[in-house]
Structures are given as structure tokens and as C-alpha cells.
Structure 1
Amino acid sequence: MDDRDHRGERIERVSPRRRGTVDYMRAAGRRSNVHGLVEVDVTAAREAIRTIEAATGDAPSFTAFLVGCLARAIEDHPRVNAYRDWRGRLHVFDDVDVNVLVETAVDGDRIAVPHVVRGANRRSLRSLHDDIRSAQGSTDPTELSRWAALAFRLPGPVRRLVWRLPQWFPRRWTETAGTVAVTSVGMAGSGGGWALSPTNYTVQLTVGGIAEKPRIVDGELEAREILHLTVTFDHDVVDGAPAARFVDRLRDLVEDGHGLDSWNGR
């Protein structure tokens, strides 16, 4: 419902989901987030995806492809798949559980909702793709329970205590929300550009736009498709040099089209 006055102003009630977003952003903004703005050449990867689709009528989603690359990069640098608890200890997890924002229908509107892809480092690209597509096809994969709806009506300072779960109970947090996150702003627009967002995760990828830019390839100037990717780290867990090595590995995997050659083999 909304209220209107004689001036034509419309006052809308804030939904419980929006309160949750506000709480999350305020809590995440208190963390030691460091952002890396990365350009990744995705020309070969996107061409491979188009080739697969032309040949089979079916192709992996770009989000699933990035999730697979992220999971493999973390396998090579496992200490970034961790949380620091309130006692200063690191909890390092074997499974890479990726929290992905997927666009789906909720109450007749298209909105982005979180979905956790479990054990992404142990799964094929086809499995990751099917998991994400299934979440997108759900009418509401995060339907609020009666107790959750009541919790959103609590005062803000009380509600925001839940976002301290990574420090208090890291294992419980991963069971609820995963170990790392991927969010995309590029899916809603066109052109290049980065986005910076605070996060409650030790590692988060924020997928920006793709723009055509000139690059030197084998000594020749070419127009290439460049993805703008923001990699955010919790500096309380990950230092600069390990973060840089992780980003280099992730870039190599994306530019090499990791996992795409096995798509037809499922």
C-alpha cells in the first residue's frame, strides 16, 4: 500500500527485503574491504560460448562460467576461502560455496535474490549452469518464513546483529550464505564500467560491464571485449601480495575459457 497527499507525493512502505539489504550494507561497510579494479579480456571465452550455442543450441551462462573460474582459482589459493572469527583465528573451508545473485520473479516483480551454489570447486560447468538456471526459474527461492518476516520487524540495531555471524559462528554463516560471493551489475545495463560494493565476504566478485577496447595481440592492434571486474577482499584475512596472485590466476582462467571445452562432455 502507499499513501498520497494533495501534492501528488507518493509514500511507499519499505519491504522486509529492502530492510535486510539496508542492514547488510551498513554492517558490511564496517569491514576492512579493499577493492581491485580489473580488466579481463573475455573475447575468446565469449566467442567459445557463441560457438557452442551455434553448434548445439545450448550454451553455459556467463555467470556460471565465472563461478567455475572463481572456484578453480580458490582451489589454487585456498586460504582466501576463509573467515576470521572474533578470537582472531582463521576458519579455512574446503568447499567453495558461492553466493550468487540471480534475477527471478518475486510477487510479480523481477528482482535479484541470493542463491548459494554449493561445492562449486567439485562440480562441472554444466552442473553450475543448471543450478543457477533452476534458481532463476523459481518463483521465489528465498521466500521468507513466518519467523524471518517477524525478525525483519525488530529494531535495526537488533536486526543487524545477524550480519556478525561470520565473526561469531563462521561455520553457521557458510551454511546459510556461502563462503564467497558473485554479484553482477553488468546484467542490468550495457557498456563498460566498474561497481564498488562493501561485502560481508572475504572475497567477492562484482561483475561490471563489457566494453570493446583496443589491445595489442601478437603485435597487432585489435578490438577486444573487455570485462570490468571488481575483486573485493577483507584485508583482515587476505594481504596484498596473496590477493594479487589470486587475481592473476583468476584472470588467466577467465581469459583461457576455463571449463568451456568440457561443456559438451557435461
Structure 2
Amino acid sequence: MGFSEGLRESAFPASRLSTIDICALGLKKHHIAALLEVDVTQARALFRRYRAQNGESLSFTAWVAHCAAAAAGEFPQIAAYRSGRRKIAVSGTIDVAVAAEKRAGGHDVPLPFVIRNCGGKSVGEIHREVRQAQEERADEKTVVLGSGGLRRAAALFYKMPAFLRRFIWKTFLLRPGTAVRTMGSVMVTSLGMCGDCDGWFIPIGIHPLVLAIGSITKKPGVVDDRIAVREYLKLTALVDHDVIDGAPAARYMTRFAALLQSGDGL
């Protein structure tokens, strides 16, 4: 049997066009990549206690989103957009998009859901919103979960040629008000739950701040000058260098890591 005889073809999911467009635009952004390894031993113990007391698990992604937003509230420029060509727009609230894998049009596709004012909500409130998004039905015309209007416009958008779609994306990103209302200013995607891979995932995105949650591994660490088994989270962050310099970005990462290490909000 020839190679071509073993091929099976299926319809290309329209929703993947947005992923392709975002990758094409994301590769052109001036992102700084940071590979973090954070000791989350204390936080993991609090997660286990919560499950024992309540009989259900708390969303790890929801908690990371909480910590990311809390730190961004102290360093808001980390989530700023360029406004036109000559201005920077900083939002008064931090809206975080989380990705939920949905079955749409016969394919598994990642779809974002925006948590509004994430920094002003408890981990429990964010957890419930994430679970609600995961349970929402989606089809191949869905762009953002919880946004029926975008779904209705998606059919026309997907029929446009690539150069026109990406021109619209570029114009869209230079209008911070529209961008924040539609997709938030921080993106959190969790890849560690999809496999036990001890390493970092380097995402591609168009948000000012993109966070990719990797795996959690156990290994020796030093605590109070003693070696002990600790749990470490692999985490990747992309920061838009157009709107923030390296030093304040590093201060944000330090604060974010500290909140994760302390189990903030749990």
C-alpha cells in the first residue's frame, strides 16, 4: 500500500484559523520570555487540605490566574497595551483569559474565556467561572466562550482571506478598549495537565502577558539550610517589551512567584 493510500482527510476546523492568525502575529511581537521554576509545596498542601475538607478539587489554573492578577494589580504596566502608535494604555482592572479545551466540529480546540476583574475576585469565585466555562457548549464558530456576539460574527470573519483577517487583528490590538473587552489583558494557559512532561512550554500569544503552566515535579530543595523534597512548578511567561522594560517586568515576576510560593488566596 502506497503512502497516499493510508492518508485520511477531514475538514479543517474553522476555529483553528484564529490560532494560525494569533501565531503569525504573536511571532512578530517583542516578547521577553521568562522560564520560572517556583516552589509550590505549601500551596499544594493547601490544595490537598481543601479537597479533603470539601470533597472536590480546586482549579489550579484559577489559582494561578488569581496570583497573576494580584501581582499585576501592583505592577499594572505588565498588562498594558499599546494605544495607536504613540501611547500606552493601562487598564484599571486586570482581566484574565484562560483557555479551555472544547470539542467543536469534531475537533478538540482551545477556546479562551475572560475572567473580568480577576484581581478583585477570590480563588473560589474564579474557580466557579472556570468550571462554568469548561461546561459551556461550543461549536466551530465559537471564538470566545461566553460571547454570543462574537460567535455570530465568526462565520463572516473565517471566510475572509488571511491577509485581511490579520489586518483586522492588528487594528484590533492597537485599540486597547476593544482588545480588553474582547480578550482581556493577561492570558493563562495550562499545559501541565495534558501530560507528565518535566519541562517548559514556550507559548505564542498576542496578550501583553502570556503565562503557560507546565508540570509540577518533586525534587530536592533547600529549606532552612536543609535538603528536603519539594514540589516545583514549571511556568513560562511572555512579557511585551513594547510596553514594559526588563527591570519592572522582573519585579513583577518576583512578586508573582512570591504569591505562588505562599499559596496566596488559598
Answer yes or no: is the 8 Å Cα contact 1:165–1:172 preserved in 2: no
Q: Find out whether 1:170 has 2:176 as its counterpart.
A: yes
Which of 214, 224, 227 does residue 230 from structure 2 map onto? Answer: 224
Q: Find out whether 1:29 has 2:53 as its counterpart.
A: no
The aligned runs of 1:31-50 (5 Å cut-off) are 31-50=29-48
The aligned runs of 1:1-266 (5 Å cut-off) are 7-107=5-105, 109-140=107-138, 141=145, 145-165=151-171, 167-260=173-266
Q: For 2:119 and 2:4, how far apart are their aligned partners in 1?
A: 57
- Cα deviation for residue 191 of structure 1 reads 3.3
- Secondary structure of the structure 1 residue equivalent to 2:206: coil
Specify the code of the residue in structure 2 equivalent to 1:73. A
Q: For 1:135 and 1:108, how far apart are their aligned partners in 2?
A: 19
Q: After TM superposition, which residue ranges in structure 1, 4 or more long, deviate above 4 angstroms?
A: 107-110
- Cα deviation for residue 176 of structure 1 reads 0.6
Q: For 1:206 and 1:78, how far apart are their aligned partners in 2?
A: 19
Q: TM-score, normalised by structure 1?
A: 0.91
User: Greater CA deviation, 196-205 or 174-183?
Assistant: 196-205
- Cα deviation for residue 175 of structure 1 reads 0.6
Q: For 2:153 and 2:59, how far apart are their aligned partners in 1?
A: 35
Answer yes or no: is the 8 Å Cα contact 2:13–2:105 preserved in 1: no
Q: TM-score, normalised by structure 2?
A: 0.91
Question: 1:99-127: per-residue Cα shift (whole Å, max 9, x none)?
Answer: 11012343465432110001101111111
Match of 2:141 in 1: none
Distance 1:253 1:6, change over 3 A: closer
* 5+ long unaligned stretches in structure 1: 261-266
Match of 1:264 in 2: none
* 5+ long unaligned stretches in structure 2: 139-144
Specify the code of the residue in structure 2 equivalent to 1:93. S
Question: 1:183-205: per-residue Cα shift (whole Å, max 9, x none)?
Answer: 12112111321111222111111
Distance 1:158 1:242, change over 3 A: same
Specify the code of the residue in structure 2 equivalent to 1:46. R
